[in-house]
Amino acid sequence: MKKNIFITLIALIGCAVAVSAQGRSGLKLNEVMVVNESNAIDDFGERHGWIELFNSNHAPMEISSVFITDDPSNPKKYPVPLGDVNTRIPKRQHVIFWADGRPSRGTFHLNFVLKPNQDNWIGVYDANGITLIDSITVPASLEPGMSYARSTDGVGKWEMRNDVGENYITPSSNNIIRAQNDKIQMFKERDENGFALTLMAMCIVFSALLILCLCFLAISKISERFARANKMAAHGVTAETKAKHATDSDSGEVIAAIGLALRDHFEAHDQESTVLTINKVRRSYSPWSSKIYGMRHNPRS
Amino acid sequence: MEQTFGDFLVSNFNQFWHFTGFYNATWQHFVMLAVGLFFIWLAIKKDFEPMLLVPIGFGILIGNIPFNTEAGLEIGIYEEGSVLNILYNGVSAGWYPPLIFLGIGAMTDFSALIANPKLMLIGAAAQFGIFGAYMVALAIGFEPDQAGAIAIIGGADGPTAIFLSSKLAPNLMGAIAVSAYSYMALVPVIQPPIMRLLTTHKERLIKMKPARAVSQNEKIIFPIIGLLLTCFVVPSGLPLLGMLFFGNLLRECGVTTRLAKTASNALTDIVTILLGMTVGASTQATSFLTAETIFIFFLGFMAFIIASASGVCFVKFFNLFLAKDKKINPLIGNAGVSAVPMSARISNNLGLEYDPSNYLLMHAMGPNVAGVIGSAVAAGVLLGFLA
């Protein structure tokens, strides 16, 4: 009983670890604008500073009940409210929070504003208000109309962007604009005839199956040794007697021949024994099955 | 002007006529219907993979009934919300193939492979068909991701081909799936000439030692170790390999007989019906009858030939390093492609043709099931590189 409880506990702990491993660690601060002069406009037609969050997971993420704050001593400053369907961020997508200090305007309006000409620390805490998921300090040197963004969504270095040339400001969209799949392009340019991919792929396929092959060669050796030891123990054969009598292994032909001989011996019906045996069969009487009750007493002529 | 009753009837009949298949039919539809009928004929009369070709053939008929696509009837396979579209989700989102792999795992006895693990390398060598076809596809002018999706036909594994093409080249999936299943059905026609061409009479007579008996413990360990090793090397093959080995564990562990039976019978049958039918239905005339499809069929054929030939050649090469009494009959090399158990049966039949006492079936099952693992690994590699 105790053993079962222990195993169940371990399984539960394992599940809990697995669940936490797939939690909100994929939520990233992705881009921030402190002073919004001519950039995105909110639902009320106004411009405010904004904070962009990015779901770097390849699965949707629910962010209600996480906390967004600009004060490390007050991690629970703005709780993202429950009950809004828009707080479920699709895989690899973005969401913008307006730093306008007016949370009454909706889920995506924070209860603080970002301060120009000073460092702005921004943190995102998990639902427990203790686990810091991501944080960034936006430097005071960020000029009005510029944003502070990761070079690549969710992972890249932070850099200042001024919306000039390819230095895009990208509220609620990818920080890096891709028109094509980089991997495909790379193979197209550097491996025109496919030889490199073929070489790499065949090496990988061979090594995967070679490892499996070596592993099972070892396992089969160990298994054979165990099987032999068990067989010897079952027949009471010691190591010394084995050296004298035992063969290495039974070949398939030998086993088949023994099997056939046994079958012939026990099951063959070529010659019957020709002995007739008459045994008396006793059947216990029951009025329910008596023939007398099933017959007419006066048969019709 | 008021419409008379006669006009009303005529206009409605006219409208109905515009909805009918007769009005909307094009010659491409009739070609595809003929292809569907041909598949059904092959399956029923010639007994070529009937489990696959009947659903696919009938699916082609379903998918190529002409109708007015602008009427918004929500009946076409590509119209969101239609019944066929809902069933097709298993193909487009790629979750039918892993379920089929679960069934394959629950059906497959890996004993031959466990007893003689070096046969796994034949399964690896035969995957050269995939990458050989990849190079040819690039030379023809396909993009690398399309080339990868087409090349997987060389793995001779329908579910793997559907899985990979749904990820790399969804627009080519219908042609790739039909091509893969067609060539799998044609294994008895394609492989024997290659095997005869590449082997000598003496080699065909090689008798292999009978495989040793495999213990229950080894059979249980195999799917666990197999999953861990292959998926640590190629995590992108996880959906296929994970389900394959899971199904096999259900079969071998001895305590989940009911689950193994369901996975190998009822579940596999249901998914095969849905997969075959929807793949067939996805081959609509407008998108199927193109020059690309002809290239795909050509490349699939190439891939099959290269795969079979590389398996046989690898065995011949491998024999150079083996002791005289441990030589492998090269006729089992073709079984490295994963058309289970058809290609193993071909090895056996050809072996018996040259020596009526030389049964190669169990030996050929080793590379055959290794081919299943190998093609899933190869698909994972292509997905990792090109997705």
Average pLDDT, chain B: 89
How close, in Å, is residue B377 to chain A by CA atoms? 6
- CB-CB neighbors (< 8 A) of B218 in chain A: 216, 219-220, 223
Q: Is the pLDDT of residue A195 over 80?
A: yes
Average pLDDT over residues A51-76: 91
Q: Three-state SS across A89-124?
A: ECCCCEEEEEEECCHHHCCCECCCECCCCCCEEEEE
Which of B284, B34, B319 shows the shortest CA–CA distance to B173?
B284
**Percentage of residues in chain A having pLDDT higher than 70:** 77
Closest by CA position to B328, among listed B207, B199, B212, B198: B207
- Give B315-322 contacts, CB < 8 A, sequence gap 24+: B315/B122, B316/B198, B316/B199, B316/B203, B318/B118, B318/B121, B318/B122, B319/B203
- How many angstroms away from the CA of B186 is the closest CA of chain A? 26
Is A202 close to B131, i.e. CB distance below 8 A?
Answer: yes
Are B229 and A224 a contacting pair at CB < 8 A?
Answer: no
| Least confidently predicted of A296-300, B20-24, B50-54 | A296-300
Residues of chain A positioned with their CB less than 8 A from the CB of B225 = 212, 215-216, 219
Give the residue carrying structure tokens 């770097």: A56
Q: Do B381 and A204 touch (CB under 8 A)?
A: yes
pLDDT at B53: 87
How close A225 gets to chain B, by Cα (Å)?
A: 12
Please report, rounded to a whole number, the percentage of residues in chain A having pLDDT higher than 90: 35
* B218 at interface of A, judged by CB pairs closer than 8 A: yes
According to DSSP, the residues that pair with A51 across neighbouring strands are A32, A97
Handedness of CA B130, B131, B137, B142 (dihedral sign): positive
- The verdict on B147 touching A (C-beta cutoff 8 Å) is yes
User: Residue B1 has what pLDDT?
Assistant: 57
What is the Cα B159 distance to its own chain's centre? 5
Q: For strands A147-150 and A27-33, give the pairing.
A: antiparallel
Nearest-neighbour CA in chain B from A215: distance (Å): 8
pLDDT at A49: 92
Residue-level pLDDT at A137: 93
How much of chain B exceeds pLDDT 70, in percent?
99
Q: Which residues of A touch B132 (CB under 8 A)?
A: 198
> Is there a contact between A202 and B234 if contact means CB atoms under 8 Å apart?
no
Which residues in chain B are closer than 8 Å to A220, comparing Cβ atoms? 114-115, 117, 212, 214, 218
Burial class of residue B59 in the structure, from the number of CB atoms within 10 Å of its CB (0-12 exposed, 13-18 middle, 19+ buried): buried
Average pLDDT score over residue span A116-126: 92
Indicate the pairing of strand A94-99 with strand A78-79. unpaired
Contact (CB<8Å) A197/B387: no
For the stretch B293-345, pLDDT in tens is: 888 998 988 888 999 999 999 999 999 998 888 899 999 999 988 787 788 88
Binary contact (A213, B117; C-beta < 8 A)? yes
Q: CB-based contacts of B12: which residues, under 8 Å, 6+ apart?
A: none
pLDDT band at B285 (very low <50, low <70, confident <90, very high): confident
Q: Are B121 and A202 within 8 A, CB to CB?
A: no
Query: Can you give the length of chain B in residues?
Result: 387
Q: What is the 3-state secondary structure (H, E, C) of chain A?
A: CHHHHHHHHHHHHHHHHHHHHCCHHHEEEEEEECCCCCCCCCCCCCCCEEEEEEECCCCCEECCCCEEECCCCCCCCEECCCCCHHHEECCCCEEEEEEECCHHHCCCECCCECCCCCCEEEEEECCCCCCEEEEEEECCCCCCCCEEEECCCCCCCEEEECCCCCCCCCCCCCCCCCCCCHHHHHHHHHCCCCHHHHHHHHHHHHHHHHHHHHHHHHHHHHHHHHHHHHHHHHCCCCHHHHHHHCCCCCCHHHHHHHHHHHHHHHHCCCCCCCCCCCCCCCCCCCHHHCHHHHCCCCCCC
Distance CA B45, CA B134 (A): 34
A191, A193, A220 ranked by CB distance to B117: nearest? A220
pLDDT at B368 over 60: yes
The reported pTM is: 0.74
- Whether the CB of B40 is below 8 Å from some CB of chain A: the reply is no
Mutation site, B140, B214, B215, interface A, largest A CB count within 10 A: B215
Mean pLDDT of B111-138: 90
Task: Read off the pLDDT band of B264 (50, 70, 90).
Answer: very high
- Buried b / exposed e along B62-75 (16+ C-beta atoms within 10 A): ebbebeeeeeeeee
| Average pLDDT of the residues in B107-125 | 89
Contact B377 A183 (CB under 8 A): no
| Chain B partners within 8 Å of A200 (Cβ) | 381, 385
Which carries the bigger pLDDT value, residue A165 or residue A221? A221
What pLDDT is recorded for position B196?
A: 93
From the list B118, B125, B131, the residue facing A201 with the nearest CB is B131
- Asked whether residue A113 carries a pLDDT value surpassing 70, the answer given is yes
Among the ranges A6-20, A184-198, B238-252, which has the highest mean pLDDT value? B238-252
Q: For position B51, what pLDDT does the model report?
A: 86
Alpha-carbon distance B146 to B137, whole Å? 8
Give the span between the Cα atoms of A300 and B381, in whole angstroms.
90
Return the pLDDT at A238. 72
Q: Do B233 and A207 touch (CB under 8 A)?
A: yes
Q: What average pLDDT does this structure show over A215-231?
A: 84
Interface of B with A in 94-123 (CB under 8 A): 113-115, 117-118, 120-121, 123
Taking CB atoms and an 8 Å cutoff, what residues of chain B touch A219? 218, 221, 225
Token pair of B139 as six digits: 């030379």
B220 at interface of A, judged by CB pairs closer than 8 A: no
Maximum average pLDDT range among B15-19, B135-139, B210-214: B135-139
Mutation target among A197, A225, A250 for the B interface, most CBs of B within 10 A = A197
Beta-carbon pairs below 8 A across chains A and B: 129
**Residue A13 pLDDT:** 57
Residue A19 has a pLDDT of 44
pLDDT exceeds cutoff 90 at A291? no
The predicted structure's pLDDT at residue A18: 45
The closest of B336, B121, B101 to B238, measured between CA atoms, is B101
CA distance B62 to chain A (A): 34
Residue spans of the domains in chain B: they are 91-386
Instruction: Name every chain B residue with its beta carbon within 8 A of the beta carbon of A217.
Output: 117-118
8 Å CB contact of A212 and B211: no
Amino acid B173: pLDDT:
86
Output the average pLDDT for chain A.
Answer: 82
What is the ipTM for the molecules in this complex? 0.85
Cβ separation B229–A188 shorter than 8 A: no
Kindly determine whether residue B117 and residue A212, on different chains, have CB atoms separated by under 8 Å. Answer: yes
Q: How far is A187 from chain B (nearest CA, A)?
A: 7
Residue A216: closest C-alpha in chain B:
B117
Burial of residue A47, with CB atoms counted within 10 A of its CB: 0-12 exposed, 13-18 middle, 19 or more buried: middle
Using an 8 Å CB-CB cutoff, list residues of chain A that contact chain B.
181, 183-184, 187-188, 191-195, 197-198, 200-202, 204-217, 219-220, 223-224, 226-227, 249, 251-253
Q: Lowest mean pLDDT: which of A29-38, A49-58, A236-245, B370-379?
A: A236-245
Output b/e per residue, A9-35; b: 16+ Cβ within 10 A. eeeeeeeeeeeeeeebebbbbbbbbbb
CA of A230: how far to CAs of A154, A223, A225, A226, A250, in Å? 58, 10, 9, 6, 15
Q: What is the C-alpha separation between B297 and B150, in angstroms, rounded?
A: 9
Residue A28 has pLDDT above 50, yes or no: yes
Of all residues in chain A, the one with the smallest CA distance to B369 is A209
pLDDT of residue A83: 86
Please tell me the predicted confidence (pLDDT) of residue A294.
Answer: 64
Type of residue numbered B203: E
Amino acid A261 reads A
